[in-house]
Each structure stands twice: as C-alpha cells, then as structure tokens.
C-alpha cells in the first residue's frame, strides 16, 4: 500500500523508541471512548472525538482557534510531534 505523504506516518517500532520523548505526544481517539480504559499505548492520552474534536452543534470540524485550544490543553506545541491512533482502522484519528 502506498500513501500520499508517507513521511507523516510512523510505525510501532518508532512509537516504542519515542514513548519517553518529551517532544512526542501520543493520542488515542476511538469511536467507542470506553476502549481507552481496556488498554492503550503507554503514555497515550484519550481524546473523545465526539465531544472534543467536532463542533457541538454542526457536527463539523472545529475552528482553527478551538483546535489550537484543544491542542494546547493536551500539551501540544508547534514543536511537538503528534501521533494519533484509534480503532476502526484509525477512522477517528
């Protein structure tokens, strides 16, 4: 399988090598938010796509400003490498 921007993808080995890297933030976002409690990557934080990553009334993408607020609350800066993953083939990541 090929990807349009493969340089933006990481593999499990890369994640394992960077679990303690302070410049890396690992985020899990699942269709079913209860899955996080059943197991997740060490150090990963949970983001509920339904309540956090979409507009509450329009069910649309967040505004740039709201996304920046969410990212800041997760400890993400312009210098942070973010790894998003989740269930359903990462559909909600």
- Give pLDDT tens digits for 64-82: 898 899 899 999 999 999 9
Whole-angstrom Cα distance, residue 58 to residue 77?
Answer: 27
pLDDT at position 50, please? 73
Residue 62 falls inside a structural domain: yes
Q: Are strands 45-46 and 81-85 parallel, antiparallel or unpaired?
A: unpaired
pLDDT at position 49, please? 76
- Domain limits at 23? 10-90
Residue 35 falls inside a structural domain: yes
- E-assigned strand segments in 4-80: 24-28, 45-46
Domain CATH for 50: 3.40.250.10
pLDDT at position 18, please? 97
CA angle 10, 55, 72 (to 5 degrees): 50
Residue 26 falls inside a structural domain: yes
Task: Please state the pTM of the whole predicted model.
Answer: 0.78
- E-assigned strand segments in the chain: 24-28, 45-46, 81-85
Split into its structural domains, the chain has a count of 1
Residue 5 falls inside a structural domain: no
């Amino acid at each position: 399988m090929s990807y349009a921007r493969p340089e933006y993808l990481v593999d499990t080995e890369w994640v394992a090598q960077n679990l303690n890297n302070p410049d890396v933030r690992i985020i899990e976002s699942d269709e079913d938010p209860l899955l996080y409690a059943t197991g997740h990557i060490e150090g990963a934080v949970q983001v509920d796509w339904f309540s956090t990553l979409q507009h509450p009334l329009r069910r649309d993408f967040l505004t740039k400003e709201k996304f920046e607020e969410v990212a800041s609350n997760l400890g993400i800066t312009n210098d942070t490498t973010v790894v998003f993953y989740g269930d359903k083939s990462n559909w909600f990541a």
